[in-house]
Amino acid sequence: MSEKTFDFDKVIDRRGTYSYKWDQSEKLFGDKDILPLWVADMDFSSPPAVAEAIAKRAAQGIYGYTVKTAAYTDAITGWFKRRHQWEISPEWLTDSPGIVPSLSIAVDLFSEPGSKVILQSPVYYPFYDVIRMNGRQVADNALLLNDSYYTMDLGHLEELMQDGAKLLLLCNPHNPGGRVWKREELVSVGELCQKYNVTVVSDEIHCDLIHKGHQHIPFASISDEFAQMSLTCLAPTKTFNLPGIPVSFVVTPNARLKKKFDFKLKTLSLHMLNFFAPVAVEASYNQGEEWLEQMLDYVGDNADYALSYLSEHLPQLQAMRPEGTYLLWVDCRKLNLDAAGIKALMYEKGKVAFNEGSIFGAGGQGFVRINLACPRSILQEALERFHRGFL
């Protein structure tokens, strides 16, 4: 690691910038001065090379229809080969406007109306939306929580497949729990999916946000068989703090799955690239790696700080050390508060906004999710506010 060159301690005032996170506190939580550490974007500037590429693109002054080039595709395939030892052929790639639209399209295409679609709760709340709003039923293969550590309930997963579920939405790494699924865990899931002819849609948007001692394993990289029965949803947006630029891609070598997916994107006219997407992707993947390494170190230190603070000041809470993501999942069940009680504790008493856990499913009841991707001073203030809410 080279000398630190990026200032993650710098506080950037995002109020009044059309910020989904910072400009809705009064509307969502009842007080404009509530400190928001909820939605998963960072309070860090993106890599300088990315900002420069976007500024140069904006300066063209004509924001026309946009196509990709080999440089764009090479940036993607080069990153995943270099970072994840995953060889992606260019013909496997389909551009899409976002991970959640991709999940929704996949549910529509690869499950039947009224059928059951598997998720593993507690999980990123749009998983529920894309299942239910497409007229499907949630088949919840709830994760097992033992000693502040999530594992998969493979026996129950098999029962759901035996019951007829043919589609699994996999969250890898897991949000909100921060688990980075190990190869053997993914192999066990994949073998069950092979046995019961279940298609896997793997949301791997957090794949680059992996902490020391852990390794992300792309589900499709494990074997040709797993690749052929899956679609992997990827994006640079979480990695390099670009969520306001609609860009993501779906990867599958299965020509049948890809043809159906591509046709649906064209049907919805969602197949065109955002004007800023090519330069953002190329700059991120070609020039953003050192920024990412330093950001992960900083967020890892933030996790240490938060875990230490909660242990000292709020020992009745139990936080899970994240293996991946920049999110901290905190077990507050000993407080014996329902969702409304936890919200009151945060918004009214503490004047801070974390995610209240029940939105991630019944298994999230009594938890909160804290966004650690912010300057230490903001994290410190947020934790102190939360602590004051108990006094």
Residues 228 and 80 reside in one and the same domain: yes
pLDDT at 48: 98
pLDDT at 1: 44
Nearest to residue 185, comparing CAs of 228, 147, 148, 141? 141
Q: Of 225, 256, 287, which residue constitutes the final position of a domain?
A: 287
pLDDT at 128: 98
The yes-or-no verdict on residue 136 having pLDDT over 80 is yes
Residues 235 and 325 reside in one and the same domain: no
Under 8 Å between Cβ of 189 and 168: yes
d(CA 353, CA 356) in angstroms, rounded, equals: 8
Residues 252 and 189 reside in one and the same domain: yes
Under 8 Å between Cβ of 330 and 369: yes
Q: Of 287, 316, 350, which residue constitutes the final position of a domain?
A: 287
CATH code (residue 315): 3.90.1150.10
Residues 279 and 329 reside in one and the same domain: no
d(CA 136, CA 133) in angstroms, rounded, equals: 7
CA atoms in the 13 A half-sphere facing the CB of 343? 12
Q: Is residue 20 part of a domain?
A: no
Q: Is residue 380 part of a domain?
A: yes
Residues 191 and 275 reside in one and the same domain: yes
Number of independent structural domains in the chain: 2
One-letter amino acid for residue 149 of the chain: Y
pLDDT in tens, 175-228: 999 999 999 999 999 999 999 999 999 999 999 999 999 999 999 999 999 999
Q: Is residue 79 part of a domain?
A: yes
Phi first, then psi, for residue 90 (nearest 5°) are -55, -35
pLDDT at 391: 87
The yes-or-no verdict on residue 134 having pLDDT over 80 is yes
Residues 221 and 79 reside in one and the same domain: yes
Omega of the bond leading into 122 within 30 degrees of 0 (cis):
yes
Q: Is residue 123 part of a domain?
A: yes
Which residues are 139's β-sheet partners? 118
Whole-structure pTM over 0.95, yes or no?
A: yes
Q: Of 287, 305, 335, which residue constitutes the final position of a domain?
A: 287
Residues 6+ apart with CB under 8 A from 319: 148, 306, 307, 310, 328, 329, 330, 331
Residues 72 and 212 reside in one and the same domain: yes
Region 278-285: what's the mean pLDDT?
Answer: 98
Residues 115 and 41 reside in one and the same domain: no
Q: Is residue 92 part of a domain?
A: yes
Q: Is residue 122 part of a domain?
A: yes
pLDDT at 2: 52
Q: Is residue 4 part of a domain?
A: no
pLDDT in tens, 59-87: 999 999 999 999 999 999 999 999 999 99
pLDDT at 4: 78
d(CA 26, CA 185) in angstroms, rounded, equals: 42
Rounded percentage of the chain residues whose pLDDT exceeds 90: 99
Residues 192 and 208 reside in one and the same domain: yes
* Token pair of 80 as six digits: 């995943």
Residues 214 and 345 reside in one and the same domain: no
Q: Is residue 316 part of a domain?
A: yes
Residues 86 and 170 reside in one and the same domain: yes
pLDDT at 3: 72
Q: Map 143-210 to HEC letters.
A: CEECCCCEECCHHHHHHHHHCCCCEEEEECCCCCCCCCCCHHHHHHHHHHHHHHCCEEEEECCCCCCE
Phi first, then psi, for residue 52 (nearest 5°) are -65, -40
Region 329-358: what's the mean pLDDT?
Answer: 98
Residues 236 and 150 reside in one and the same domain: yes
CATH code (residue 133): 3.40.640.10
pLDDT in tens, 229-265: 999 999 999 999 999 999 999 999 999 999 999 999 9
Average pLDDT for the chain: 97
Q: Domain containing 334: what range?
A: 25-47+289-388
